Chain A
Amino acid sequence: MIFKKGFKKGGINLPHHKEETENRSFVNGPIPKKVKVPLLQHIGKPAIPIVKLGDKVEEGQLIGKMDSDFSSNVHTPIMGTVIEIGDLYTPTGVKSKYIGIEFSGGVKTWIKKNMNWERFTDSELLAMIKEAGIVGLGGAAFPSHIKFNPPKPIHTLILNGAECEPYLTIDDRIMQEKVDSIIIGIEILKKILKPKKVYIGIEDNKTTAIEIMEKKLSGIAEVVTLRTRYPQGGEKQLINAILGIEVPKNKLPLDVGVVVTNVGTVYSVYEAVVKEKPLIERFVTITGQIVKWPGNYKLKIGTIIRDILEDVKVLTMPKKIVVGGPMMGISQYNLDTPIIKGSSGILVFSEEEIQKKKEHPCIRCGRCLKVCPMGLFPSLMYAEIQSNNTAKLNEIGIFDCIECGACSYICPSQIPLVSYFKSAKINLKNNKSYYPNKIPIVRRWRYASKEE
């Protein structure tokens, strides 16, 4: 057996559940009659609305202007009229202002007008990425113009095609179907970042994608076949797997001279530069046993989940909707939530599929610490949270937790460990002591709404 690369610490083998959608090509979703575009879809400051009620907007027109450099532009995905401006909770649970747009008819064709993109300078290319409002499409939605403008030179660019989350298949499909665009995207990033070496990491369960990438990308990037193990696609884990180095505590990947970016982001970089098309659409995997037409769809950002479900048809009543993957995705309170730039999947579960959890006391089995990809001590962190020992929590590294959820997954006592850590981190950041024995918060916004 050939030795496959992988990260060194912890990790879990998950059931893939990718069979349902991995062979389905991308399908353009229908144009929604109405979209709600949140102005905070990224990490950083929310964009400032620059349209008012009743304004007519073109497809791809700027409607939210970036507040400072640590922010991102927001564009309208459809042609239409601004009919409402209000507040909503985005799928990640953040409260944000949104702009509601009603479709008035008409589609814009995005032509490849900049095929000779080589004539642009680095700063012009960066400005185009900034203008298009590109953010990381892997889920965290970090503004790309900041990531691609590192303060010091980097030596390695890593493309993340690991897609370690079960159910999701969009990165797999992008690598199979959009090869030519990705090649141009990589060339653009190479011109901006000037790395000495480019890698693309793919988990070994995506055999077709690996084959295609190896054939087409020879001389452009080195394809690294990775062991299928969650969370292989975590930034720090990917660096560890491919380069064998660890990102030091409290440092970013660029401190060790590495930039990691998702293959989906590379594709949107290509669109932003060659087509001058802002980030108004994204690929989303929609799956679940009760979905009649599961698949990989190209959806307008801001489409409301209810409309999407009406289009793909659900066979019975959905009881639980998760936006994102099953390990880190967030289950939704209502179906009127729009999808945003960071939404990589919509998982639909019926009532029968919901696993009812019964919490037991910790039996000290130690599985959480064996699976933790960061080498942390989850059961001890949980005990310290229970006893409200905030000083100790810092000491044992709660801020190094990447919130992958491996500990909660494996826990035989079904303690929601990662939820405790998430809320403890928020509490610690705000210098608040953690209330012992409190039920952990489900979503970030519950905490936020308490602040008001």
Chain B
Amino acid sequence: MQVKKSNILSKLFVEPAPHINHKDSVPKIMWGVFVSLLPAAAWSIYFFGMPAFISITVSIITCMITEIVFNMLKKSPITIWDGSAAVTGILFSFTLPAYIPLYVPIIGSIFAIAIVKQLFGGLGYNIINPALAARVFVMFSWPTLLTTNKYFLPITTPESLGINFNIISSATPMHLLKEVANTGKITDYYDTWPLLLGKTPGAIGEVSVIFLFLGGLYLLKKKYITYHIPFTFLLVVFLLTFFYSLAKGVQISNNYSLLKNSLVYAYLHIISGGLVLGAFFMSTDMVTTPLTKKGEIIFAIGIGVLTFLIRIFGAYPEGVMFSILIMELFVPLIDRYIKPQIYGWSNK
């Protein structure tokens, strides 16, 4: 086309520099996190059956509806398409047992979005992770529902998995580890393979460690999260439980040496409970983590130490969610003192 004066005079689009942008955007990151959680969700649905599916879906939908209601109350644009509400919903449902009555995920989701997220100002302004805060809320509201074993156990486990119900019906892995911590001996030998694959009782999202790992690696590859928090967290818990076990002489099996017993004990701590879910998905939530790499490592060490202390010495078998929530409250403090060194300011 020949450039004529008349048509080239049409309005030019003007915007401030830079004129190119990185391909990541908030919706892309949020939906990326959502997608990375789907394999674990699919496994849970296969393992626990329809109730898990209903529970996950109800959580997501409740979160989105609450978000819309708040958008309308605030007369702000509808923000559900940025995906943050959906991520909160699926993460929250992952922390619940599959067979819990449906009012628990509904009320918890409303609490997560309304109280924790929107009342603090919406996306980017919440000081703690909405999903985890909601989980603590429902835990103290219905303590029996969330600690009774029967809600964690698969009712309709497919026969193809070939699980021996006698082994797994006794307790959740976390109770067993707690017992080990108290007595120094494990009562019921726990195989690590079902634990890794997700053939054990537990909350919806906790069961399949392998799929959670895969989701975490996907996030790492996409650079939506960095390795600093998850790996520091896992390493700290591993080392602390390992040395604790060495000191206390925990026996997983009589055939093992002390070193092997300790390694297996530490390994069991890593792959059981909410540790992997917490390490890759809960503690890496950008909004509630420190901004600098150094700060992230301090944050992750804090979570690791607190998890260890709660798991071994605390009243609850599981400590991941409390430690993440506690450390999230320290984030402003960490950010205040851990700052990047400005170019040329060191030798002023």
Q: Is the CB of B291 within 8 A of A316?
A: no
Nearest CB in chain A to that of B20: its residue: A326
Q: Is the CB of B342 within 8 A of A313?
A: no
Nearest CB in chain A to that of B291: its residue: A366
Contacts of A205 in B (CB 8 A): none
Known A-B contacts A333-B12, A397-B345, A418-B18; A360 and B1 likewise in contact (beta carbons under 8 Å): no
A161 in contact (CB, < 8 A): no
Shortest beta-carbon contacts, A-B, top 6: A366-B291, A405-B18, A361-B124, A419-B16, A365-B286, A360-B26
Q: Is the CB of B25 within 8 A of A366?
A: no
Q: Can you list 25 A-B contacts with CB-CB less than 8 angstroms, sorted by A residue number?
A: A248-B344, A248-B347, A324-B17, A327-B17, A330-B17, A331-B19, A334-B9, A335-B9, A358-B25, A362-B124, A363-B123, A363-B287, A364-B289, A364-B291, A365-B286, A366-B290, A374-B343, A374-B344, A400-B342, A400-B345, A409-B18, A409-B20, A412-B26, A412-B28, A419-B16
Contact with B along A350-377 (1 / 0, CB 8 A): 0100110110111111100110111111
Min distance, Cβ A296 to any Cβ of chain B, angstroms:
20
Tell me how many residues of B have a C-beta within 8 Å of chain A: 48
* Assembly CA distance A332 to B13 (angstroms): 8
A127 in contact (CB, < 8 A): no
Known A-B contacts A317-B8, A317-B10, A366-B292; A306 and B3 likewise in contact (beta carbons under 8 Å): yes
Contacts of B14 in A (CB 8 A): 320, 331-333, 442-443
* Assembly CA distance A18 to B22 (angstroms): 18
Nearest CB in chain B to that of A413: its residue: B26
Nearest CB in chain A to that of B14: its residue: A331
A39 in contact (CB, < 8 A): no
Nearest CB in chain A to that of B286: its residue: A365
B248 in contact (CB, < 8 A): no
Nearest CB in chain A to that of B84: its residue: A363
Residue among B2, B125, B343, B346 with the most chain A CB within 10 A? B343
Contacts of B260-319 to chain A: CB distance below 8 A: 286-293
Contacts of B20 in A (CB 8 A): 14-15, 166, 326-327, 355, 409
B21 in contact (CB, < 8 A): yes
Q: Is the CB of A408 within 8 A of B12?
A: no
Min distance, Cβ A397 to any Cβ of chain B, angstroms:
5
Q: What is the interface of chain A, defined by CB distance below 8 A to chain B?
A: 9, 12, 14-15, 166, 236, 240, 246-249, 251, 306, 309-310, 313-322, 324, 326-335, 347, 349, 351, 354-355, 357-358, 360-366, 369-370, 372-377, 379, 397, 400, 405, 408-414, 416, 418-419, 422, 440, 442-443
Nearest CB in chain B to that of A333: its residue: B14
* Assembly CA distance A390 to B288 (angstroms): 26
B162 in contact (CB, < 8 A): no
Nearest CB in chain A to that of B22: its residue: A410
* Assembly CA distance A69 to B27 (angstroms): 53
* Assembly CA distance A369 to B21 (angstroms): 16
Q: Is the CB of A320 within 8 A of B13?
A: yes
Q: Is the CB of B286 within 8 A of A327?
A: no
Contacts of A413 in B (CB 8 A): 25-26, 124
Contacts of B28 in A (CB 8 A): 412
Contacts of A324 in B (CB 8 A): 17
Contacts of A414 in B (CB 8 A): 21, 25
Known A-B contacts A355-B21, A363-B286, A412-B25; A246 and B343 likewise in contact (beta carbons under 8 Å): yes
Contacts of B122 in A (CB 8 A): 361
Min distance, Cβ A445 to any Cβ of chain B, angstroms:
12
* Assembly CA distance A413 to B84 (angstroms): 13
Q: Is the CB of B10 within 8 A of A364?
A: no
Q: Is the CB of A328 within 8 A of B340?
A: no
Q: Is the CB of A328 within 8 A of B17?
A: yes
